[in-house]
Amino acid sequence: MKKITLLLISLLLINQFAEAQLRKSNTREKQKYPKNIILLIGDGMGLEHMYAALIATNNNLNITKCPNVALVKTFSANDFITDSGAAGTAIATGYKTNNGMIGLLSDSTPVPSILKYAEDNGLATGLVATCDITHATPASFVAHVTSRKMNEEIARQFLYTDIDVFIGGGYNSFGKRTDSLNLIDSLLIRHYQVVKTIPEMMEVTEGKMAALLYPVHPPKVTEGRGDMLSLATAKAIDLLDDNKDGFFLMVEGSQIDWGGHDNDLDYIISETIDFDNACGVALEFAANNKETLVIITADHETGGLSLPEGEMTNGKPFGKCSTTDHTATPVPLYSCGPGSDLFHGVIDNTDIFKTIYRLFGFQPLDEPSMK
C-alpha cells in the first residue's frame, strides 16, 4: 500500500511539474504575440527601388534595420500581373480577387479585412496614405466595391466602419461629391475631428480623426508635400496608442508606384526615401514600445526597374525600366518585433493577412467559400 501511495504521489508531482512547464511555455508563447501591428506598404516598391534609395542615401535606410526578410508573390485571381486593388485586397483580407476589385472575391462575395477584425476585437485602427484615402490600397481595408474607381462609394463606406484615424488626400470624395451628399457632416456626427491641414492635424491629441489634407492626391514629396507622411504616421501612432488593447495601422507610401509608371528614377528614389522615413518612425516606436510588430512590404513592383550601373561612393544609381506598368516580380517584405520571425522564405501576399490574424490571436469567423 505504501508503494502504491508513493507511486501516486510521484505521478501527481510529475503531473504538476508538467502543468507548470506548460504554463511557462504558454507564457513564453504569448510573449511572441504583438499588442500592436504596423503594416507599411510601399506601393510599387520592388527590391531595385529599395536598393536605388539605399545607394542614394549612402547605405542609410531604416528598412535595412529589419532582421527578417521574405519574398512575396503578388499575382491576382485573374492575372499573372496584379493591380493595386487585387493586391491590396489579398494583403487586407487573405483572399485573391480579380484586378480592379476591392474587398470582394472574384464572384463579388464581400470579405472582411484585418482592419475590420481588429475593430471587432476592440483594437484601435488607422490608415495613412500619400494618395486620396479612397485609392485602391487604403480602400482595400475598408470597402467592398466591384471597381477601385468608385471613389465616392468607397468614401461612403468609410462611414460603415469604426476606424479611429485616417489621413491622406481625398477631401472632395467626402465633401465635394457629384451626388451632393455631405459626408463631412456625417463624420462630425460620428465624433470625428475633421482637419484639412497638417498644423490642424498636429493639434489633435486624442479621439477620432479624419485628416483630409488635400482635395484629391497630395503632391510629390519634391513638389511641396514635405514630411507629411512621417508626421501623419507619428500622429496616427500617438492617437491609436491610447487604446489599452492595442492597434492596427496601415501606412502607404503611395507614389513610389507613380514614379515607376513614369519611369522616373528621381521620383522613385525621393518617394522611397520618404516612405523609409515613415518606416523609421514606426521602427523607433516599436523599439521603445517592445510590443509592436512592424511589417514593411509592397503590393507589387512597378516599372520593371533594373540597376545596370551605379556608384556607391557618390550615391548615384543609374536605373533602367522595362515597362510603364506593373510586373509580376516578387516583392520584398521586411519585419521587426514580436512575431517577425514568422515572415520568412517565399510567401504569398495572402499569407500577410493570415500571419497578422494569427499573431493578433483572433478567433476564426465563418469564411466564405472560394469559387
pLDDT tens per residue across span 207-248: 999 999 999 999 999 999 999 999 999 999 999 999 999 999
30-50 pLDDT tens trace: 447 999 999 999 999 999 999
Which residue range forms the structural domain that includes residue 114? 36-360
Are the beta carbons of 85 and 140 closer than 8 angstroms? Answer: yes
Q: Residue 209 maps to which CATH number?
A: 3.40.720.10
Would you say residue 316 has pLDDT above 90? no
Looking at the domain assignment, is residue 259 inside a domain?
Answer: yes
pLDDT for 366 equals 61
pLDDT for 129 equals 98
Secondary structure element (H or E) that encloses residue 360, with its range: helix 350-360
Q: What percent of the chain has pLDDT over 70?
A: 90
Are the beta carbons of 42 and 253 closer than 8 angstroms? Answer: yes
**DSSP designation for 189:** H
Nearest residue to 252 via CA among 160, 365, 146, 170: 170
Confidence of residue 370 (pLDDT cuts 50, 70, 90): very low
pLDDT for 363 equals 84
pLDDT for 2 equals 42
Residue 317 bridge partners (DSSP): 310
Looking at the domain assignment, is residue 369 inside a domain?
Answer: no
Would you say residue 368 has pLDDT above 80? no
Would you say residue 29 has pLDDT above 50? no
**DSSP designation for 178:** T
Interhelix angle for 228-240 vs 265-289, to 10°?
Answer: 30
Q: Where are the alpha helices (DSSP H) in 190-291?
A: 198-203, 228-240, 256-261, 265-289
137-178 pLDDT tens trace: 999 999 999 999 999 999 999 999 999 999 999 999 999 999
Would you say residue 10 has pLDDT above 70? no
Distance of alpha carbon 184 from alpha carbon 212, whole angstroms? 10
Looking at the domain assignment, is residue 30 inside a domain?
Answer: no
Distance of alpha carbon 295 from alpha carbon 310, whole angstroms? 29
Q: Considering its fold, how many domains does the chain have in total?
A: 1
Q: How many other CB atoms are found less than 10 A from the CB of residue 130?
A: 31
pLDDT for 310 equals 79
**Computed over its alpha carbons, how large is the radius of gyration of the chain?**
22
CB within 8 Å of 111: residues ≥ 6 apart: 89, 93, 94, 95, 103, 104, 105, 144, 368
Looking at the domain assignment, is residue 327 inside a domain?
Answer: yes
Q: What is the mean pLDDT of residues 256-260?
A: 98
How would you class 82 by CB atoms within 10 Å of its CB: exposed for 0-12, middle for 13-18, buried for 19 or more? buried
Nearest residue to 213 via CA among 130, 140, 151: 130
Would you say residue 1 has pLDDT above 70? no
pLDDT for 24 equals 38
74-115 pLDDT tens trace: 999 999 999 999 999 999 999 999 999 999 999 999 999 999
119-141 pLDDT tens trace: 999 999 999 999 999 999 999 99
Residue 108 C-alpha cell reads as 463579388
Q: Which residue has the higher pLDDT, 356 or 4?
A: 356
Confidence of residue 197 (pLDDT cuts 50, 70, 90): very high
Nearest residue to 135 via CA among 303, 259, 253, 300: 253
- Could you confirm whether 25 is annotated as catalytic? no
Q: What percent of the chain has pLDDT over 90?
A: 87
Looking at the domain assignment, is residue 7 inside a domain?
Answer: no
Residue type, 209: M
Distance of alpha carbon 309 from alpha carbon 320, whole angstroms? 9
The average confidence (pLDDT) of the chain is 91
Sign of the alpha-carbon torsion through 251, 247, 31, 114: negative
Looking at the domain assignment, is residue 1 inside a domain?
Answer: no
Looking at the domain assignment, is residue 21 inside a domain?
Answer: no
pLDDT for 367 equals 61
Q: Which of 76, 84, 254, 335 is the catalytic position?
A: 84
Would you say residue 14 has pLDDT above 90? no
